[in-house]
Amino acid sequence: MNTIEVLNQYPNEFNEAVRFYSIGIHPWYIDLNRLDKDLEIINQKLENNNALAVGECGLDKRISTPVELQKKVFEQQILLAEKHQKPLIIHCVSAFQELIAIKKKLSITVPIIIHGFSKNEILANQLIREGFYLSFGKYLIKNPELKNVFKQLPLNQVFLETDTIEETIEDVYTLAASYKEIEVETVKIQLLKNFKLVFPNYNEDLDD
């Protein structure tokens, strides 16, 4: 089974050579001097079939940018995701209850994926109940305590990623399968189903 690679792009550094991408304003990189322009670029790029998602975007309460400003920028990107019917890839740090509240307030209909999930069972189960997808990668490899969290989650609401780790996606699949006590191929088949459901615009034959 071939690997499907989706790269994150920033509107002010957009690379036309990237085939499949998500695009968004990460809360770390909010710049009021170019915010309107960045949002317009995102709006334009989401017209392309190769644009599979909006993100990374979200909330981070451990940075100096005011949370209210982060919420404003995040909500503007949610509206673009809804307009173009593209899923959201979320960066969230210490703001999960705010994230859940925004999902309810805006009645978000597009799928929402939490990037790099690393928290406890209670939060994981709450997010699953609220309809979020949880993506695991670096922390699944680095933090053995996530075994019990991952083991009890429904596989149809999970994704696996590599992000910034040296290990390959095969390594992540192998570990995930061992935690679930199932075959690697079973994990791959289910995650491919998840991918096709969440990213219906993906078509490996696209060349636009």
26 known ligand binder: no
56 known ligand binder: yes
82 known ligand binder: no
> For residue 48, what are its two tokens?
């392309």
pLDDT tens, per residue, the chain with 208 residues: 466 778 888 999 999 889 899 999 999 999 999 999 999 999 999 999 999 999 999 999 999 999 999 999 999 999 999 999 999 999 999 999 999 999 999 999 999 999 999 999 999 999 999 999 999 998 999 999 999 999 999 999 999 998 767 888 999 999 999 999 999 999 999 999 999 999 988 876 544 4
For residue 172, give Cα distances in angstroms to 50, 80, 184: 25, 32, 10
Q: Which domains does the chain have, with CATH numbers?
A: 7-198 (3.20.20.140)
Element (H, E) at 160: strand 158-160
38 known ligand binder: no
- Cβ neighbour number for residue 172 with a 10 Å cutoff: 21
For residue 92, give Cα distances in angstroms to 130, 146, 171, 184, 190: 15, 17, 25, 29, 25
